[in-house]
Structure 1
Amino acid sequence: MRLLFACLGLLLVLSAPQARAEPLAKQYFGAKTEASKQPPAPYGSYSRGCVAGAVQLPETGPTWQAMRLSRNRNWGHPEVIDYVQNLSAFAATLPGWQGLYVGDISQPRGGPMLSGHRSHQIGLDVDIWMLPAKRLDLSRQARESLSSISLRKAKGAYVNANWSPQHHALLRAAAKDPRVARIFVFPGAKVQMCKDEKGDRRWLRKIRPWYGHHYHFHVRLKCPRGARGCENQDRPPRGDGCADAQKWVNDILNPPPPKPRDPNAPPPKKRRDYVLSDLPRQCASVLRSQ
């Protein structure tokens, strides 16, 4: 009996490293270069999921260009591809804009990325550059080297001289689409829009202040109707959100004192990378699909 327990203990010790060595989900999804041959469907949440049957945004269209093509992140649910095309057509009507430069959407099958975003996993997020698209004939090399412009001043408390009425109009059009759940942008931009908007203010509710997001704004669509495996984010709080954005700005200009740290408190847990078993069960079939 003692020998049996000893053997079992040895087996557990030997198997533990194998469990810890389970490949990370981002390695599986980052290796896929094409979408799955399945009906379009987002599974899971924006930061823990995948997308079946994704569609690739064409690298160049009549009113857009996809940027950073080497990342192969110009894939998304058909709803987000249609959204980008519609918004870019509106952008082309703005003075000084020929359309949009489009940043990351998702990988071909969504899922965690090898680098960068925690979200963008179910094909319903897209980054839109703040740089006005003045030409739509950029080469692949130019799309790797060209940079967007920053619109922030004072660490995001204010907009800078690059901000324009066209940015306001573009964000307003982006938010008014009923498919949009929320749009992330730096706090100073939200406060500026709150000051400048003289008409219908309901769309401002969807514009949410967030860290960064001064070189691009991040659009997040709602789960499409009938997508049962998709998890919506909670709706934004009621109201236009302008007071909340002003608080962000106030905290940037006059940071509150740091809270005293409990010396006996355990160290914060490091956010771990997901393995495949952390994702919705459908994601395994998304990976297996040809």
Structure 2
Amino acid sequence: MKSLSATLVLLASCCTAQAQYNPWEQATSTYQAPAAAIGSYANGCLAGAKALPLAGEGYQVIRAQRHRFYGHPSLIAFISDYAKQLRNQGINNILIADMSMPRGGQFNYGHSSHQIGLDVDIWLRLEDDLLVTKQLASPYAVSVVDKKNLVVNKNTWKDEHKTMLKVAAQDERVARIFINPIIKQQLCDERETGDEWLQKIRPWWGHSSHMHVRLVCPVGDTQCNNQKPIAKGHGCDELSWWKEQLAKTPTFSKPQKPKPLKTKPLPCEPLIKSLQAKQQN
């Protein structure tokens, strides 16, 4: 009986492992081809990805052990340009978090998007000094939102955060920036005439310790699907709904389960087939 029970447990664990197998998470190499963002931000893949150098002028990559520092060449260029711009404005070292995996595709946990190499999370933790190896591998986040009172945390929210958001939003390569609704409210409270860049600042759940920057599809990437254009206007008039939702949302979170794999666009098939061939050799 004990032997039978052990066998059943083993079979169950094997089935669970099979059910959760995600080939995109197994990729350790890029797909050698001309750069192409294929599909949509939340269902696609990435050919010809480039790895962001783990340190550059004005930035460092955190949690590199996750292998999520890959992107379309246009994203690599944006991050480099953006960090240099911020450095010229006195923000010396931004922390780059999740981008995409070597071949893009779906994450088991966390992100629904970040699949085609055009998304990047940039932490709101401000650091003048470079982090050392141990700190980079296991960094702590800094929230700028007072979730209890639904306002920005005056101890952690700085003028530099507004600068970070504004500089990114004014870049024509940027489609939208996801941020906590409370942060958007703060920006709206400080709004001045001509602040059209606020249109790109999009309120979303979470995002209290990082900004999620999304680029438009690069010119010539015919298999890349842009999102619908953002409605005209600064978007400050939609925040009352968000505040109501945040006020009644419980603070606890359920344990995450691996997300079911989506059927990928057909042009993603070669990326997986070549990966599987490598794994079999």
The aligned amino acid for 2:113 is: S
Q: Contact 1:40–1:78 at 8 Å: present in 2 too?
A: yes
Counterpart-to-counterpart distance in 1, 2:258 and 2:232? 31
Of 113, 116, 120, the residue aligned with 1:119 is 113
Report the Cα distance in structure 2 between the residues aligned to 1:153 and 1:80, rounded to whole angstroms: 31
Aligned to 1:31: 26
Match of residue 84 from structure 2: 89
Q: 1:156 to 1:121 in 2, by over 3 A?
A: farther
The 1:168–1:93 alpha-carbon spacing in structure 2 relative to 1, beyond 3 Å, is same
1:192 paired to 2:212: no
CA contact (8 A) 2:109 2:258 kept: no
TM-score normalised over the length of structure 1: 0.81
Aligned: 1:241 with 2:218? no
Q: Distance in 1 between matches of 2:193 and 2:55?
A: 34
TM-score, reference length from structure 2: 0.83
Output one character per residue of 1:110-131: Cα deviation in whole Å (capped at 9) or x when no partner. Answer: 0011332111000000000001
Cα separation, 2, equivalents of 1:156 and 1:218? 23
RMSD (Å) for aligned C-alpha atoms: 2.3
For 1:69-108, list aligned pairs within 5 A. 69-95=64-90, 97-108=91-102
Q: Pick the aligned partner of 1:146 from 111, 117, 139.
A: 139
**Would you say the 8 A contact 2:82–2:168 is kept in 1?**
yes
Quick one: which amino acid aligns to residue 200 of structure 2?
K
Output the CA distance in 1 between the equivalents of 2:20 and 2:119: 19
Question: Over residues 43-62 of structure 1, what are the superposed CA-to-partner deviations in whole Å (9 max), with x where a residue is unaligned?
Answer: 11111110000010000112
Letter in 2 for 1:61: G
Task: Please say which structure displays the higher CA radius of gyration.
Answer: 1
Q: What residue in structure 2 maps to residue 273 of structure 1?
A: 260
Letter in 2 for 1:279: K
1:8 equivalent in structure 2: none
Question: How far 1:284 sits from its partner (Å)?
Answer: 1.4
Is the 8 Å Cα contact of residues 109 and 259 (structure 2) preserved in structure 1? no
Question: In 1, are the aligned partners of 2:124 and 2:143 still within 8 Å (CA)?
Answer: yes
Secondary structure, aligned partner of 1:84: helix
- Structure 1 unaligned segments of length 5 or more: list them: 1-19, 257-269
1:139: how far off?
A: 3.1
Contact 2:37–2:46, Cα closer than 8 Å, also in 1: yes
- SS at 1:92 equivalent: helix
Contact 2:20 2:258 in 1 (8 A): no
User: Structure 2 stretches of 5 or more lacking a match?
Assistant: 1-14, 250-256, 276-281
Query: Whole-Å Cα distance in 2 between the matches of residues 202 and 230 of structure 1?
Result: 26
| Partner residue of 2:207 out of 203, 213, 229 | 213
Indicate the percent of aligned positions where both proteins have the same amino acid: 36
CA distance, structure 2, for counterparts of residue 63 and residue 200 of structure 1: 28
The SS at the match of 1:217 is strand
1: CA distance, partners of 2:93 / 2:240: 31
* Structure 1 segment 57-76 matched on structure 2, within 5 A: 57-76=52-71
Q: Do residues 135 (structure 1) and 122 (structure 2) align?
A: no
Q: 1:176 to 1:123 in 2, by over 3 A?
A: same
Matched length: 253
